[in-house]
Amino acid sequence: MKTGEIISNKLIQGSYFQVDFYAPEICRAARPGHFVHVQIANLTHRILRRPFSICDCSSDGALRVLYKCVGEGTTALSKLQPGTVCDLMGPLGNPFLAPAADEYPILVNGGYGAAATFMLTKESSNGGLMLLGARSASDLLLVNEYEAAGFEVRVATNDGTAGHQGLVTDLLQQVIQQETTRKWRFYACGPEPMLMAVASILQKNHLSGEISLDHLMCCGVGACFACVVKVKADTPEGWRYARSCKEGPVFNSEQLYLEK
Amino acid sequence: MKTGEIISNKLIQGSYFQVDFYAPEICRAARPGHFVHVQIANLTHRILRRPFSICDCSSDGALRVLYKCVGEGTTALSKLQPGTVCDLMGPLGNPFLAPAADEYPILVNGGYGAAATFMLTKESSNGGLMLLGARSASDLLLVNEYEAAGFEVRVATNDGTAGHQGLVTDLLQQVIQQETTRKWRFYACGPEPMLMAVASILQKNHLSGEISLDHLMCCGVGACFACVVKVKADTPEGWRYARSCKEGPVFNSEQLYLEK
Amino acid sequence: MADLTTKLGPVTLKNPVMTASGTFGYGFEYKDYYDLRKLGAVVVKGIAPFPSHGNPTPRVAEVTSGMLNAIGLQGPGVDKFLTGDEYMPFLRASGADVIVNIWGKTIEDYCEVAARLDADCAGITALEINISCPNIKEGGVAFGTDLNLAAKVLSSVRKATSLPLITKLSPNVTNIADFARCAVDCGSDMISLINTITGMAIDIKTRRPKIANLTGGLSGPAIKPIAIRMVYQVAQAVKVPIIGMGGIMNADDAIEFMLAGASAVAVGTAIFADPYAPLKVIDGINDYLEQHNCKSVAEIIGALRLS
Amino acid sequence: MADLTTKLGPVTLKNPVMTASGTFGYGFEYKDYYDLRKLGAVVVKGIAPFPSHGNPTPRVAEVTSGMLNAIGLQGPGVDKFLTGDEYMPFLRASGADVIVNIWGKTIEDYCEVAARLDADCAGITALEINISCPNIKEGGVAFGTDLNLAAKVLSSVRKATSLPLITKLSPNVTNIADFARCAVDCGSDMISLINTITGMAIDIKTRRPKIANLTGGLSGPAIKPIAIRMVYQVAQAVKVPIIGMGGIMNADDAIEFMLAGASAVAVGTAIFADPYAPLKVIDGINDYLEQHNCKSVAEIIGALRLS
Ligand SMILES: Cc1cc2nc3c(=O)[nH]c(=O)nc-3n(C[C@H](O)[C@H](O)[C@H](O)COP(=O)(O)OP(=O)(O)OC[C@H]3O[C@@H](n4cnc5c(N)ncnc54)[C@H](O)[C@@H]3O)c2cc1C
Ligand SMILES: Cc1cc2nc3c(=O)[nH]c(=O)nc-3n(C[C@H](O)[C@H](O)[C@H](O)COP(=O)(O)OP(=O)(O)OC[C@H]3O[C@@H](n4cnc5c(N)ncnc54)[C@H](O)[C@@H]3O)c2cc1C
Ligand SMILES: Cc1cc2nc3c(=O)[nH]c(=O)nc-3n(C[C@H](O)[C@H](O)[C@H](O)COP(=O)(O)O)c2cc1C
Ligand SMILES: Cc1cc2nc3c(=O)[nH]c(=O)nc-3n(C[C@H](O)[C@H](O)[C@H](O)COP(=O)(O)O)c2cc1C
Ligand code: FES
Ligand code: FES
């Protein structure tokens, strides 16, 4: 099993924390969209690991995860001190396809989605655009970091405390209508309803994109069928359940079977 | 619920640790032989508390426990850092009867038993004698502290690394045969087989003493009947089950019903 | 404060939180901790017509997120219970609502203890018939896991007392709903569940059972999902009020039971971790009701959403 | 090294540690973790004669010291299992000992899948008949909790194949020993137990069940004491070898099962916490045998001391 000693673990904003693990092996293999499956040591009445997108990997082996405290596992994680050694599985999953040399990446993110796509900034030769949605200004993650990496950032907040008041999908509609000059490649990560809306907009506009889903996971390697999501398939029903840990978490938007 | 912030928690010898809790309320009420029932916070898959004899109480509210790492609970306890707040119930149980002014206390202890009787040193106006048994020299607890408190200490070890090679009950037999000048009061605490041997020696010599038993406990207050021990009683069988958390842990040796 | 008044058939309690039988002694043991009148009811340790030593030791073993016990129903017997200072006289004086858990080795035993309590029922709110204790070899197991025997003992007890009756079900059965229906048919006013699930643990060093009785009853958070399922199944099967228990550690757990169909709950093993757990559950239920704009507990009972 | 060779009736395995069906996929998913030949056997996810979508999501929920699952036996069906790259052809090439867990909605389904595997049995060590999956409405529950139905399906499968047969029992019954005897009477060579225990969990915020299927099977350390008890009961009732499972997290747990009477064990939910758990269990059993001067695993099977 791979281990990751915690180098630092701190609150960055709102209820978001940033943890850096020393995990050189995982760092070497990690691609944008990959995740790590973390055993949270100080939660002895919980068996299952917690999956987190790899936000960043440094050349000296520091693997960065941004996480939101939403429940027992993430709260326990937030209390782990530097020096604690965690058991990590990874990198896992089907990563994003990097943008081709002539492609302009457009990221559509909500919440921690900004972390899941961050490593794409290193794969784009043309910069890119991130559309970022959140409940409130304080939930907007990594805006400076994306800008520093040469990406344009447009934001939408539900409460209007920053950028457009409304949904990130409003921004996506605008972009699709206005931007025509470049060859796009779409990427999206965020809460499921948002992703399904993104997939639906893309499908309606005969566009395709890469969508990273966040489904409840157990094994993380395709063995248990806990994490499935409906994808189009040649079955009587027109769909099959694909394992989002292995066949995903990144799916092509055209693959996804959207319920009416 | 009473709480106790850990002031210090450190290895003292062998696999014995000493933890000091800041628990002024419990300190004020504690008598020799009392115990505290400790919730071990970092063991979330275990429900039950762990009982520990109160070894010492200082006037500034520091409650001392000496404990041996024998399993999950005590190992988890040994990892708690100063500043951690633990949930404590106590003082609990039926304490030792203090020696009368003209009595000379003779303590017969094994293992952490030396901790359970330590507060008696403050209750004796005539000093006293402790017979202490252990597997090996490194398991002998509090010898200097007892001597500093004006007690004579005689030791027995199974492996002969200190004092008499053999059992502490050998020392007890000797004392009963040799010492005749003073009015004794016996106290004993240690592993169950040793205590039963002590009780049997006392009963045979028509002596009585106070025996502190260490039985598996749940509630600690007499509600669940987990911790029972046979005591003589006016029943058809000649015994009844007494709750050692409430009617004990200290029983008079004459009360105990010894199986043949 | 939301209205926590809880109607359980013929009985009305000030709130829906009780102590589970066997985990709170006779109330007396916790008298210095808090006013027992704060509890919905104090359910006392099982009472038989005779005094009883209970099982040999060790009687308990800790297991992952729970414990095994085979106390074997040690107790003073009904006579001493009705007269001894630390039993019923204390409880009467305390003003607490009291539910007496009863058991026996034969049908006659059950009827005798029920009749004795009926005759001296001041301060007794209801009887809880424990047909489910898995630890007594003489009958106990069979009563709770055999429908015919259950029917016999329950209808006999019904004739022996006019006190409100709660039947406490054993979870060690294939179909819990059958036993609930049987209890209602035999005149029970309420159903309580679950009792402990039979389990076993072995010390691999000594190769001996960790419980002298070989098997013991599993309680604590480990059994909660099973208990929730059974409460739900019973709620679908019968119309009488249900008292849910099994692994309740906090108000969230209690609310889960109520959403599944329990009108009241009992806190058991959690009391060993924290004697104040029942009071915290009461407060937490109140907070939940307020946060969800519910005026009374009735609004959340069976309020599981299925569509 | 102690001798870990394990004789299970007609089958001999290199060690007594398997993966529990449904928790190790088809072995393929863990191929990069270690050599599957290190395992006593790979028990694959349940195979039916037909491909199957399984249940709607959410399919799992974490609970205290365990999890609920209602995967609903998603799978490729026997045809694809026998031919698809990531299924039996991979396992054959891997050299692992393979046990195929089978299920169906009807007796005919069970016989069909057994016969198909019998006809193409290269690399298959035994079949494990899952009569205990609590998630499939059409029959699954009834087979495992009704003695008559169990007898019918087990004796029919016995006729459909000459492969060694393991019957996997459901714990959701009053008397597990009855089902074990039934399985042996119907020609099973081994008994495995326990499958998951039916449970339920409710999200108190949304008031919805945490599992779309409403109920799910409880697995993990929470159920271990129940599983140990049932293995012990079955070991007293039948003479065929027992494969014990339910909450095994480490070698100590596995040894506890063996002392209770299991000749082999399966590691399930623990694999989600640590894919290497089965190998650690193998090593730990070896250490225990060496420390206790046992020459073979046989010396600890059923070695519980009662006096
Ligand atoms: C591939 C993948 C990548 C992820 N990357 C990140 C990341 O980079 N940063 C981050 O903060 N989170 C990420 N998540 C989500 C993260 O795994 C969950 O927030 C975490 O498991 C919650 O654990 P908990 O014990 O704190 O919450 P729990 O106590 O288990 O649950 C708290 C609440 O969160 C819900 N919840 C639990 N797990 C999930 C889940 N997987 N998805 C949605 N809701 C859930 C529960 O239903 C409950 O309402 C990712 C999830 C997946 C599948
Ligand atoms: C009144 C009383 C006072 C005590 N005072 C002290 C003290 O001052 N210092 C001290 O070190 N210990 C004391 N003990 C013993 C202490 O409570 C246990 O060692 C502790 O509970 C073990 O917890 P664990 O989780 O580490 O061990 P577990 O993992 O629970 O068990 C490890 C091993 O210890 C055995 N064990 C567990 N509990 C007990 C017990 N109560 N008695 C005997 N064996 C047990 C188990 O059977 C097992 O073999 C006292 C016990 C009682 C009842
Ligand atoms: C130590 C102990 C003693 C018990 N004694 C009784 C009893 O006398 N009568 C009874 O009906 N149930 C008894 N029970 C069962 C509890 O009342 C309750 O049904 C069970 O423990 C499940 O709840 P819990 O998980 O909250 O403890 C006992 C349980 C424990 C742990
Ligand atoms: C996600 C999951 C899927 C399972 N699928 C199957 C299955 O297909 N067939 C089967 O017989 N048992 C299945 N089981 C039951 C396990 O094989 C095992 O009997 C049970 O989980 C108890 O063991 P454990 O506590 O070690 O997991 C499944 C269990 C889990 C957790
Ligand atoms: S989490 Fe197990 S298959 Fe995806
Ligand atoms: S520990 Fe509960 S009665 Fe003693």
By Cβ distance, the residue of D209, D252, D260 closest to C304 is: D209
Supply the mean pLDDT for chain B. Answer: 92
- The 8-class DSSP code of residue A219 comes to S
Is residue D98, in this structure, part of any structural domain at all? yes
Tokens at residue C264, please? 């009241």
Tokens at residue D196, please? 């998951």
pLDDT value for C135: 43
Same domain, A77 and A154: no
Dihedral pair phi/psi, residue B27, rounded to 5°: -55, -45
pLDDT exceeds cutoff 90 at B124: no
The answer to whether the Cβ–Cβ distance between D67 and A48 falls below 8 Å is yes
Strands (E), D11-135: 11-13, 17-19, 42-47, 60-63, 66-69, 98-102, 124-130
- The 8-class DSSP code of residue B120 comes to G
Is residue B241, in this structure, part of any structural domain at all? no
Q: Which of D133, D182, D186, D294 is catalytic?
A: D133
pLDDT value for D275: 97
* Residue D242 · residue D193 · CB < 8 Å: yes
- The 8-class DSSP code of residue D45 comes to E
Q: Which residues of A touch B46 (CB under 8 A)?
A: 44
Is residue D22, in this structure, part of any structural domain at all? yes
- Cβ-based neighbours of B144, under 8 Å, separated by 6 or more: none
Q: C61 forms bridges with which residues in the sheet?
A: C68
Give contacts of D 141-160 with C, CB under 8 A.
145
For the stretch B230-260, pLDDT in tens is 999 999 999 999 999 999 999 998 899 987 6
State the smallest CA–CA distance between residue C39 and chain D in angstroms.
23
By Cβ distance, the residue of D29, D30, D60 closest to A226 is: D60
What CATH number did the domain enclosing D35 receive?
3.20.20.70
Q: Which ligand is nearest to the CA of C67?
A: 3
For the stretch D293-305, pLDDT in tens is 999 999 999 999 9
Q: Is the CB of C269 under 6 A from ligand 3?
A: yes
The span from the CA of C101 to the CA of C128, in Å, is 4
pLDDT value for A68: 94
The span from the CA of C255 to the CA of D15, in Å, is 46
Query: Nearest Cα to D265, choosing from D233, D297, D305?
Result: D297
Query: Nearest Cα to C268, choosing from C224, C229, C230, C226?
Result: C224
Strands (E), chain B: 2-13, 16-22, 35-39, 50-53, 56-57, 62-68, 85-92, 104-110, 128-134, 151-157, 164-165, 184-189, 209-212, 228-232, 239-243, 250-252
Angle at D22 between CA D16 and CA D26, to 5 degrees: 80
Same domain, A75 and A17: yes
Is residue B233, in this structure, part of any structural domain at all? no
For the stretch D179-208, pLDDT in tens is 999 999 999 999 999 999 999 999 999 999
For the stretch D70-113, pLDDT in tens is 998 899 999 999 999 999 999 999 999 999 999 998 899 999 99
Tokens at residue A74, please? 């993430």
Same domain, A165 and A206: yes
Mutating which of D132, D223, D230, D236 best tests the C interface, going by the most C Cβ atoms within 10 A?
D223
Which run of H or E residues covers position A50? Answer: strand A50-53
Is residue C115, in this structure, part of any structural domain at all? yes
The span from the CA of B232 to the CA of B255, in Å, is 6
Same domain, B117 and B195: yes
Is residue A243, in this structure, part of any structural domain at all? no
Q: How far is the CA of D196 from the centre of ligand 4 (A)?
A: 6
Is residue C282, in this structure, part of any structural domain at all? yes
Angle at D281 between CA D261 and CA D87, to 5 degrees: 100
**Cβ neighbours, 10 Å, residue B84:** 16
Sheet (strand D124-130) strand order = D17-19, D264-267, D242-244, D190-193, D165-168, D124-130, D98-102, D42-47
Is residue C84, in this structure, part of any structural domain at all? yes
**Mean pLDDT, residues D216-221:** 97
Same domain, B31 and B74: yes
Total residue count of chain C as it appears in this document:
307
The span from the CA of B226 to the CA of A235, in Å, is 59
Q: How far is the CA of D289 from the centre of ligand 4 (A)?
A: 28
Q: Which ligand is nearest to the CA of C211?
A: 2
State the smallest CA–CA distance between residue B44 and chain A in angstroms.
5
The span from the CA of B206 to the CA of B210, in Å, is 14
Q: How far is the CA of B50 from the centre of ligand 2 (A)?
A: 7
Same domain, A159 and A73: no
The span from the CA of D61 to the CA of D73, in Å, is 16
Same domain, B84 and B130: no
The domain containing residue A51 runs over which residues?
A: 2-92
Is residue B187, in this structure, part of any structural domain at all? yes
Q: Is the CB of A139 under 6 A from ligand 1?
A: no
Query: Nearest Cα to D208, choosing from D200, D199, D216?
Result: D200
Tokens at residue D157, please? 């499968």
pLDDT grade for A181, boundaries at 50, 70 and 90: confident
- The 8-class DSSP code of residue D210 comes to S
Same domain, A109 and A87: no
As for the ipTM of the complex, it is 0.95
Chains A and C: how many Cβ contacts under 8 Å? Answer: 3
Is residue C306, in this structure, part of any structural domain at all? no
- Cα separations (Å) of A125 from A98, A103, A142, A149, A171? 10, 9, 20, 11, 23
Q: Is B59 helix (H, G, I), strand (E, B) or coil?
A: coil
Boundary (domain end) residue, out of A212, A235, A255: A212
Q: Which of A222-231, B40-49, C159-168 has the lowest mean pLDDT?
A: B40-49
Q: D210 forms bridges with which residues in the sheet?
A: none
pLDDT value for D222: 98
* Residue C171 · residue C197 · CB < 8 Å: yes
For the stretch A79-88, pLDDT in tens is 999 999 999 9
Count structural domains, chain D.
1
The span from the CA of B222 to the CA of B242, in Å, is 9
The answer to whether the Cβ–Cβ distance between B47 and C275 falls below 8 Å is no
Same domain, B56 and B75: yes
* Residue A100 · residue A22 · CB < 8 Å: no
For the stretch B154-184, pLDDT in tens is 999 989 888 888 899 988 888 888 877 778 8
Q: B109 forms bridges with which residues in the sheet?
A: B132, B189
Q: Which parts of chain A fold into alpha helices (H)?
A: 24-29, 72-78, 113-116, 143-148, 168-178, 192-204
Q: Pick out chain C residues at pLDDT < 70.
A: 133-141
Same domain, A107 and A88: no
pLDDT exceeds cutoff 80 at B1: no
Burial class of residue B101 (count of CB atoms within 10 Å of its CB; 0-12, 13-18, 19+): exposed
Is residue D1, in this structure, part of any structural domain at all? no
Pocket of ligand 4, candidates D19, D23, D26: which has the most ligand atoms within 8 Å of its Cβ, to mutate?
A: D23
pLDDT exceeds cutoff 70 at B203: yes
- Cα separations (Å) of C130 from C38, C43, C150, C194, C241? 25, 12, 10, 11, 17
What CATH number did the domain enclosing A82 receive?
2.40.30.10
Q: Which parts of chain C fold into alpha helices (H)?
A: 77-83, 88-94, 107-119, 140-145, 147-160, 176-185, 224-237, 251-260, 270-273, 277-291
- Cα separations (Å) of A13 from A8, A16, A17, A67? 15, 5, 7, 10
The domain containing residue D182 runs over which residues?
A: 6-300
Q: Is the CB of B226 under 6 A from ligand 6?
A: yes
**Cβ neighbours, 10 Å, residue A181:** 7
Is residue A174, in this structure, part of any structural domain at all? yes
What CATH number did the domain enclosing B207 receive?
3.40.50.80
- Cβ-based neighbours of B20, under 8 Å, separated by 6 or more: B6, B7, B8, B9, B62, B63, B64, B65
The answer to whether the Cβ–Cβ distance between C228 and D260 falls below 8 Å is no
Tokens at residue C298, please? 């009735």
Q: How far is the CA of D144 from the centre of ligand 4 (A)?
A: 15
Atom 4, ligand 4: residue with shortest CA distance: D22
Omega prior to D166 cis, within 30 of 0: no
Is residue B176, in this structure, part of any structural domain at all? yes
Residue type, A14: G
pLDDT value for B14: 87
Angle at A109 between CA A104 and CA A113, to 5 degrees: 115
Tokens at residue D2, please? 């102690």
The span from the CA of B169 to the CA of B133, in Å, is 8
- Would an 8 Å CB–CB cutoff place B29 in contact with chain C? no
Reply yes or no on whether D121 is catalytic: no
pLDDT value for C137: 47
pTM beyond 0.90: the answer is yes
Q: How far is the CA of D140 from the centre of ligand 5 (A)?
A: 23
Count structural domains, chain A.
2
Please say whether the dihedral angle defined by the alpha carbons of residues C5, C6, C12 and C16, taken in this order, is positive or negative: negative
Q: Is the CB of C224 under 6 A from ligand 3?
A: no
pLDDT value for C143: 86
Atom 11, ligand 2: residue with shortest CA distance: B67
Is residue A32, in this structure, part of any structural domain at all? yes
pLDDT grade for B116, boundaries at 50, 70 and 90: very high
Tokens at residue C236, please? 């679908």
Pocket of ligand 6, candidates B214, B243, B247: which has the most ligand atoms within 8 Å of its Cβ, to mutate?
A: B243
Q: Which residues of A touch C225 (CB under 8 A)?
A: none
Q: A230 forms bridges with which residues in the sheet?
A: A241
pLDDT value for B204: 86
Is residue D306, in this structure, part of any structural domain at all? no
Name subunits touching B (3+ CB pairs < 8 A).
A, C, D
Is residue B247, in this structure, part of any structural domain at all? no
pLDDT grade for D137, boundaries at 50, 70 and 90: very low
Tokens at residue A194, please? 């948002």
Please identify which residue in the block is written with the tokens 């502190």: B212
